[in-house]
Amino acid sequence: MLENREVMMRLFPDLFARFPIRPVNHYSDDLLRNLRSLAPQATDEPTVVVLTPGFYNSAYFEHSFLADQMGVELVEGRDLFVRDGFLYMRTTEGPRRVDVIYRRIDDDFIDPLAFNPSSMLGVPGLLSVYRSGNVTISNAMGTGVADDKSVYPYVPDIIKFYLDEAPILNNVPTYMLRRPDDLAYGLDHLDELVTKEVHGAGGYGMLVGPAATKDEIEAYRARIEADPAGFISQPTLSLSTCPTFVDAGIAPRHVDLRPYVLAGESYSLAPGGLTRVALTEGSLVVNSSQGGGTKDTWVLGA
């Protein structure tokens, strides 16, 4: 979102003079303020760091860009250590205590003493500091369960339970293939549905039935039958399209929108977002890992 806006403002400054486009460049300030508000100890200047797996990670540029925008240190696991129940960062001026970690490392690799013992990316003993309340990790370990696709059908129930409200937007109908009736329907209509791994991400491991060959459908059927609980199916939706500059000129391409909501001392919604675009004609897969692109997203003010 931030990168797209910066590029657009450089290339088309006249558009931003003509239209009341709400700025998004304060996002990093809002993020930093929220992270600081989560510090475990009362301090005027809590130390926040961005924890990255390192420059071999495909999103490393984003990690370094965001750390730079917030004015905080970008660190790897080897830059941090645990001593006397607290977490410290190595600096040229000696150890400095860390209060809040904005983590970009998966759960399994964040602490080799608690999770994957072969991990070279995390910090030995970090989980013990977290358990003692002496460091905040955002997002906390385990929050990835919310991204499990088998949780999606229960979102209306979650809203009702926690807020005692009915959802404003309806869910996409979802077939849980661990259920016998849903499994039978899903297998009978594989050529019509989009079927996904419940733990899948990045557009990998999914079958878009209407665009798949018979061999692809049969191979996927065998995967489902071997582990029905690992899959869900949904109707093939017709995503919105947006004019997009491609090799042949301007043409419609399918898009979706990812908004950004920050939760800390308050809740805030960024007046923009990440519009992802499927650059291949007719494709419904917008993920960057599958050749998708992104667009600057405008929210107009009064």
Residue 11 falls inside a structural domain = yes
Which band of pLDDT confidence, cut at 50, 70 and 90, is reported for residue 292? Answer: confident
Residue 75, token pair as written in the block: 């660190």
pLDDT tens by residue, 83-120: 999 999 999 999 999 999 999 999 999 999 999 999 99
Which band of pLDDT confidence, cut at 50, 70 and 90, is reported for residue 202? Answer: low
pLDDT tens by residue, 222-265: 999 999 999 999 998 878 899 998 888 999 999 999 999 998 87
Q: Is there a single domain that holds both residue 20 and residue 70? A: no
Structure confidence at residue 203 (pLDDT): 65
Structure confidence at residue 147 (pLDDT): 80
Which band of pLDDT confidence, cut at 50, 70 and 90, is reported for residue 29? Answer: very high
Q: Is there a single domain that holds both residue 130 and residue 119? A: yes
Q: Is there a single domain that holds both residue 55 and residue 75? A: yes
Residue 75 falls inside a structural domain = yes
Residue 197 pairs in a beta bridge with 231
CA distances from 138 to 50, 53, 67, 80, 258 (A): 10, 15, 14, 16, 19
Q: Is the pLDDT of residue 43 over 80?
A: no
Q: Which of 235, 255, 285 is the last residue of a domain?
A: 235
Compute the average pLDDT of residues 212-220.
95
42 or 6, greater pLDDT:
6
Which band of pLDDT confidence, cut at 50, 70 and 90, is reported for residue 217? Answer: very high
Domains: count for the chain: 3
178 or 290, greater pLDDT:
178
Structure confidence at residue 66 (pLDDT): 93
Structure confidence at residue 77 (pLDDT): 96
Which band of pLDDT confidence, cut at 50, 70 and 90, is reported for residue 144? Answer: confident
Residue 281 falls inside a structural domain = yes
Q: Is the pLDDT of residue 206 over 70?
A: yes
Residue 31 falls inside a structural domain = no
Structure confidence at residue 231 (pLDDT): 95
Residue 164 falls inside a structural domain = no
Q: Which of 200, 220, 235 is the last residue of a domain?
A: 235
- Average pLDDT over the chain reads 92
Q: Which of 235, 253, 279 is the last residue of a domain?
A: 235
Q: Is the pLDDT of residue 81 over 90?
A: yes
User: What is the extent of the structural domain holding 271?
Assistant: 1-26+238-302
Residue 269 falls inside a structural domain = yes
